[in-house]
Amino acid sequence: MQQEASIKQQETKRLQLFIVLVGAMLLITKFIAFFVTNSNTILTDALESIINVVAGLFSLYSIIVSARPKDLNHPYGHGKIEFLAATFEGSLIIFAGGAIVLKSIYNLINPVPLQQLDLGMVLVAISGVINYGVGIVTEKRGRQNNSIVLVAGGKHLKSDAYSTAGIVVGLFLIYVTGLIWLDSVVAIIFGIVIATTGLRIVRSSLAGIMDEADYELLRRIVDVLNDNRRDNWIDIHNLRVIKYGSTLHIDCHLTVPWYLNVLEAHDEVVAVGKLIREKIDPSIEFFIHTDPCIAPSCSICSNANCDHRLHPFQQKIKWDFDKVITDQKHSLH
């Protein structure tokens, strides 16, 4: 399990380094396009690329730090820094979007002449295609490795590609119509789109810092538990997930027959952890508290080998999501 987590961390670092290198190359390409065309729309795209490179370097640093092993001062590891990195990146994106809007408004009032838009369009279009492809791969790998930094970076690259597509369309319209003011209008529209993406990234990272519940992940876990229940798993509740970068820490309460000895109860705990790691993520940390069954549990307990039953079995019920994530035991009523 630790070896697989280490492989994921190394892959995440390599991918983030690749993102930084690609970003630097595209930054140079966009500035070349600006000097060729004198288009302020392309300049704003190039300025956003500076944000990409700076944020990418900070994210790379955060990934390196988060990969450090746990120590006495950080018993849960260093993964939380990834949320800070994503917040920083989102803030930079918001700043870039706002700067683009303000600069474009200024250019509406004071337009500048454009030149060689055809060459500029080709260079910008190539950079957009590369950005989108790298963004898709980055976001996908980020979700697979539970890295909020890679997910945020992937979304940023894709949003950058969307804005680049809009810029290409705007440049084409300017090229065909000769309406220079369209250069600023297109930049304003996509500056707003960029800033909105930054807000979403900040919102997501702040949710991680505040340990906001990930309902999508929790539902997946509940579905897995429902589909693979054992007879001794009478009830489960207080299920919670905390993210430390790429590490998921999960704790819950598992109700087992009261007459199980410590070793037998421990075996049930191990079985739950093994199931979730196999079906969800092998690097998950599990802390499970066992509860003894009580008389009302008999009516929903399907353990046919129980010699201590106080009430007859009536019905096996599906564990309810709302009860599983709260401190409520299941019952027929």
- In tens, the pLDDT along 287-296 reads 899 999 888 8
Tokens (6 digits) for 307: 């010699």
Higher pLDDT, 210 or 39: 39
DSSP output for 138-179: HHHHHHHTT-HHHHHHHHHHHHHHHHHHHHHHHHHHHHHH--
Q: What is the pLDDT of residue 270?
A: 92
CATH 3.20.20.70 describes domain 215-324: no
Residues 6 or more apart in contact with residue 283 via CB below 8 angstroms:
1, 4, 5, 8, 146, 246, 247, 248, 277
**CA angle at residue 209 from 91 to 195, to 5 degrees?**
20
> CATH assignment of 2-209, given 1.20.1510.10, 1.10.10.10, 1.10.1060.10, 2.40.30.170?
1.20.1510.10
CA 130/CA 21 separation, integer angstroms: 12
pLDDT band at 254 (very low <50, low <70, confident <90, very high): very high
Tell me if domain 2-209 and domain 215-324 are identical in fold. no
Domain chopping of the chain, boundaries: 2-209, 215-324
Q: What is the pLDDT of residue 263?
A: 94
Residue-wise pLDDT for 213-222, tens only, equals: 677 888 888 8
Q: What is the pLDDT of residue 245?
A: 57
Tokens (6 digits) for 173: 């319209």
* Range name among 10-19, 115-124, 133-142, 201-210 with the lowest pLDDT average: 201-210
Return the sign of the alpha-carbon dihedral for residues 213, 215, 217, 221.
positive
pLDDT band at 6 (very low <50, low <70, confident <90, very high): low
pLDDT band at 87 (very low <50, low <70, confident <90, very high): confident
**CA angle at residue 280 from 209 to 245, to 5 degrees?**
25
Return the sign of the alpha-carbon dihedral for residues 141, 143, 149, 152.
positive
3-state secondary structure of 77: coil
* Range name among 1-5, 160-164, 244-248 with the lowest pLDDT average: 1-5
**For residues 104-111, average pLDDT:** 82
Residues shown for the chain: 333
